[in-house]
Each structure stands twice: as structure tokens, then as C-alpha cells.
Amino acid sequence: MFGGVYGTVLASALLAALEQEGGEYTPFYDAAWVLVTAVAAGLAHGYAHHMATHEHGSAGHRWLVLLRAVWHEWPVIAATAPSVLLLVLSGFAGWKESAVTAVGLGLNTALLFGWGTLVARRLGYRPGRALLIGAADATIGLAIIVANAVLK
């Protein structure tokens, strides 16, 4: 859940930040930056987690333990896939940047709702409560949409 939410929020923020009104639309470049940033965030988070929890002299070779910690961050990268795919498709199809950003932010907000609802149900919450938790997660996406509108 953490990686899914983190990656989805990261992708949303990048979609909003990379949108350039009046500038040249570069969807392949934007897709590459979303992916590179997700990989960098996953590596940084895995490394930070490793450094915060690894004790000197603990069992396991330190490099293997580090690699394991970094590997567990794959959901951050995977969660950006819908945004990356949308950007790549828009590059081939020639879609307008503003529409792609709007669709991407809406899609990611729906994904945040889904993440929250799904995890809440798996934890045993009743459907109504799970939907409220999903809505709370979706407010992060809505906050990015509002910030994008206000800042642009």
C-alpha cells in the first residue's frame, strides 16, 4: 500500500509539474522523467530504510540486505506505470497536454481511492468504512489537482 500510494502521488505531482502552458509538449521526455524520478525515489527510500534499520554486525551480508531493502520498493515504480503509459500513448496519438494532465490526475485520484478502499477491505473494514478510507486517500489526489489549478 505504501509504495502504491507514494508512487501514485509522485506520478501525479510530476504530471502537474511537467505541464508547460504555451511550451512545447514533450510526452516521451515527461514519461522518462516520471520513470527516472520513481526509480530514484525507490532507490532513495530503500537505502534510507536500510540505513535506519540495519545494525552493524547483523546477520546477512550488508550488500544483500541493502539490495533486498531496495527491491522492496518496486511498488513505488510500478505505481507510476499508468501515468508513464498515458504519456507514451499521448506521444503516439498526439493528444493535447492539458487533456493528458487532466486525465492523468483524474486517473491517479481514482487509483488512490481504489488503493485505500482495497486495503481497508483487506484489513476487515466494512464496505461503507472502506469507501470512506478510499475517499480520504483520494483527497491527496484532489489536493494535487487543486494545487495544479491554483499554481497554473
The residue extents of the domains of the chain are 2-151
The Cβ of residue 127 has, within 10 Å, a number of other Cβ atoms equal to 10
Q: How far apart are CA 54 and CA 5, in angstroms?
A: 25
pLDDT of residue 58: 59
Is 80 exceeded by the pLDDT of residue 78? yes
Which of 3-7, 79-83, 99-103 shows the lowest per-residue confidence on average (mean pLDDT)?
3-7
For the entire predicted model, the pTM comes to: 0.88
pLDDT in tens, 106-135: 999 999 999 999 999 999 999 999 999 999
Q: How confident is the model at residue 52 (pLDDT cuts 50, 70, 90)?
A: confident
* 35: its cell numbers: 520513470
Residue type, 97: E
Q: How far apart are CA 42 and CA 19, in angstroms?
A: 23
pLDDT in tens, 90-112: 999 999 999 999 999 999 999 99
